[in-house]
Amino acid sequence: MRKITPVMAIVSILGLLLPLSACGSSAAADNGLLYVFNTKSEIKDGLEKLVNEYGKEHGIEVKVFSPGSGSDTVETMNTEMTSSTPPAIFSTNSLVTWGPADGDFMLDLNESDNADLKALAQNVPDELRFTSEGDENLGLPYTLEGYGYLVDVDVLKDLFALDDDKVAELIADLKACDFDTFRAFTDAVDAYINNPQAISVNVNGHEYTTAPAKTGLANDLTGVFVESGAEKWTYADHMVNIPLNAVFENYGDAYSADLDAVDALKKPLIKEMEVLDYNTSHAAGEDGPNTRGPSFVNSTTGSYDYALQLFAEHKGLFFKQGNWIYPNLKAALADTEDAGARMLSSLEILPIKMPFEQSDISVKGRTPETFNTYIPAMVPNYWIINKKSSAAQQKNAADFLVWLFTSDRGRSFLTDECGFILYDELDQPDGANSLNNALLHYASAGKTLSNPFNASPGNWLEFVGNQLKQNYMTKAKWDESTYPALADTVIARWKNLKDIQSS
């Protein structure tokens, strides 16, 4: 019998374990890979197709991943970014976690080896640059986004029996009017939906009267606003950004502010709750008003998708959303022919009016009028090269971005398929996309607010959303006396999270 010694046995067991680990790590260093991690779920399918085509053409192995909206993007991103095969291109508009001061994952495009990419990056206008100190240039903007109350102008025409010129005047008046006027206007529309008769309302000095009986699209209305109660981001992220704009001038201001600066949020936040209460208690549903309660937050009938459908079916006059919904809305209207095309081509955006007083606003230069005539605009995502991915991956990533922004196929994908406003086309407010045009009009007039909400710490936005969803969206009646306590809670949370983040 052959002798087996203990030492031989140990060696052979270790020998068994080693190849296990070896075969795993060799797969990691794959040179041909271009991995794109996209956090804008709307372009998921198109991007996947585009990148796959690109991969075939250029003979490199590609991978694209986009988490669905409303899912745990952050967590999935954490897992992916810290894995041994991290994405070469990732997207965010926040410096928290991955920015230079934290994990330092973002390649400064000014220092890219790719001269074309460097040139592209240097063309990004100052106000859209992704930077922490002002010198770096950390990504290429996806698009410019803005939001407010989207207006179904076709419905407005039938409501007030207006022709094209007159409705344009009404839109201009609605864009310029103050909060109380706007409230009187929505009250009139609400009264009309319940009891159609001639109701007169004065907007910005002009008198408008509803048609004596419901005609055309006015028959479809079931409420003033379309709401999606299951989607926390619609009433947390985007709504709370308005009061945040009363406290912080922009992203950087909120990012670097002192802990106590956020105390000033209390008064604007309470005012915002009044608006939220009004909007959600005048919500449109499938066959009648959509009332607050457990079904309001149901994950099916309270979803973004469902709300979009309601808006497309003219169930509501206003929809608090942004220009990003254009492609989806277009798809939802695809089989309605002329009516759909008319609606699409005439959409407008109104500012989210707030009952602010000057004493509520702590940002210098902003007045109540600012909030009633400006809309928030921001870059929602940047294409960022991950400097912790392999050199080969980074090279592929740079080549891809150049191709994306310079080739016909790439640009047509971005503008036509995704409906994006490219940073080098900001001066063209006359395209086919009515919402982009509306936004660009605000932008070119300098009437834009910023996105301090993107600088909120940790899961603050989710916390705000949960508070509203749990304690308000499911309740038919809101108690105004609870607003100050709510404001205190979310302010305390902001500080608490800042504290946890610090070290």
Partner 1 sequence: MYKKWFLPFIAPAVILFTLVVGIPFVIGVLYSFSAWRGVYFKGGDNLFEAWVGFDNYAKVFRNPDFLNALGYTVTFTIMAVIAINVFALAQALLVNALGRAVGFFRATFFLPNLLGGLALGYIWLFIYENIFSTTLFGPDGLLPIDLLTNMTQDHNKNLLAMLIMFVWQQAGYMMIIYTTGLANISQDYYEAASIDGANAVQRFFHVTVPMLMPSITIVLFMTLANSFKLLDPNVALTNGEYDTRMLALQILRVPKDTSNNYGVAQAEAVLFFLIVAAISITQVIITKRKEVEA
Partner 2 sequence: MTKKTVSRIVIAVVLTIMALVTLFPLWFLLINSFKSQAEIVKSPLALPHGLNFSYIANAIEKINLVPSFLLTVLITVVGVVFIILISSSVAWMMVRFKSKVANALLLAFTASMLVPFQAIMYPLINEFDDLGLKNTPGLILMYGGFGLAMSVFLYHGFIKSIPVSLEEAAFMDGANVFQVYWKIVMPLMRPTTATVAILNGMWIWNDYLLPFLVIGNGEHKTLTLSVYFAKIESGAYGNAWDLIFPAVLITIIPIVIIFLFLQKQIIKGMIAGSVKQ
Report the C-alpha gap between 150 and 435 in whole angstroms: 8
Choosing from 57, 111, 164, 305, the residue that interacts with partner 2 (CB under 8 A) is: 305
Burial of 141 (0-12, 13-18, 19+ CB in 10 A): buried
- Rounded to a whole number of angstroms, the minimum distance from the CB of residue 147 to partner 1 is 24
Query: Residue 471 interacts with partner 2 (CB under 8 A)?
Result: no
DSSP state of 283: B
Q: Quick one: what does residue 358 bind among partner 2, partner 1, none, with the CB cut-off 5 to 8 Å set by partner type?
A: none
Q: Quick one: what does residue 485 bind among partner 1, partner 2, none, with the CB cut-off 5 to 8 Å set by partner type?
A: none
Sheet with strand 382-385: strands edge to edge: 61-65, 33-37, 89-92, 382-385, 140-141
CB distance 446 to 483 below 8 Å: no
Closest listed residue to residue 141, CA positions, set 324, 377, 441, 378: 378
Tell me the two tokens of residue 452: 């301090």
Residues linked to residue 149 through DSSP beta bridges, in sequence order: 320, 350
Query: Residue 72 interacts with partner 2 (CB under 8 A)?
Result: yes
Query: Residue 503 interacts with partner 1 (CB under 8 A)?
Result: yes
Choosing from 48, 58, 65, 110, the residue that interacts with partner 2 (CB under 8 A) is: 65
Tell me the two tokens of residue 361: 């606003």
- Rounded to a whole number of angstroms, the minimum distance from the CB of residue 472 to partner 1 is 13
Position 465: which residue type?
Answer: G
Q: Quick one: what does residue 65 bind among partner 2, partner 1, none, with the CB cut-off 5 to 8 Å set by partner type?
A: partner 2
Query: Residue 69 interacts with partner 2 (CB under 8 A)?
Result: yes
Closest listed residue to residue 323, CA positions, set 375, 249, 279: 375
Cα-based distances in Å from 156 to 152, 174, 222, 338, 342: 7, 12, 14, 17, 13
Select 7 or 27, whichever has its Cβ closest to partner 2: 27
Print the binding letters for residues 185-224 with partner 1: x by CB under 8 A, - otherwise: ----------------------------------------
Region 27-56 residues binding partner 2, contact defined as CB under 8 A:
27-28, 41, 44
Q: Quick one: what does residue 367 bind among partner 2, partner 1, none, with the CB cut-off 5 to 8 Å set by partner type?
A: none
Choosing from 216, 252, 458, 484, the residue that interacts with partner 1 (CB under 8 A) is: 458
Choosing from 36, 39, 50, 67, the residue that interacts with partner 2 (CB under 8 A) is: 67
Q: Quick one: what does residue 83 bind among partner 1, partner 2, none, with the CB cut-off 5 to 8 Å set by partner type?
A: partner 2
Query: Residue 388 interacts with partner 2 (CB under 8 A)?
Result: no
Burial of 123 (0-12, 13-18, 19+ CB in 10 A): exposed
| 3-state class (DSSP) for residue 443 | helix
Residues in contact with partner 2 by CB under 8 A are: 1, 3-4, 17, 20-21, 23-25, 27-28, 41, 44, 63, 65-72, 76, 79-80, 82-85, 230, 299-300, 303-306
